[in-house]
Amino acid sequence: MNDEALPALNTATLDADTLRQLCFDIEHGARLLSVSIKHHEERNSELLRLEPSELCEALIDGRLLGAQLRYIHAEREWCDTLLSTPGGVRLVRIDHGGV
């Protein structure tokens, strides 16, 4: 094992309104680097072209199982993994540090 520290990791379960605010903030206040999505069994290629706010709605209404958004905000690179759960959407956030 090397001496490098692991990136900072935070988790939370978000309700629909908090998820919508998060996606709005990313869409309007960050530079989006990449989006990966996890579909249900039925594949829908149109989901690949959604903006962050539209992805969040797809998570809320069950069209997506999960999504991962990589973005730069406040000169730091972030990776947010969003997973649909019965209690809300689970957020796992990793801070990859300054850019």
Q: Say how many CA atoms lie within 13 Å of 68 toward its Cβ.
A: 10
Q: What's the rounded mean pLDDT across residues 40-57?
A: 72
Tens digit of each residue's pLDDT (9 = 90 or more) over 74-86: 999 999 999 999 9
Tens digit of each residue's pLDDT (9 = 90 or more) over 84-95: 999 999 999 999
Residue 99: the pLDDT is: 85
Residue 94: the pLDDT is: 96
In angstroms, the CA 25 to CA 40 distance is 26
Tens digit of each residue's pLDDT (9 = 90 or more) over 2-21: 557 788 899 999 999 999 99
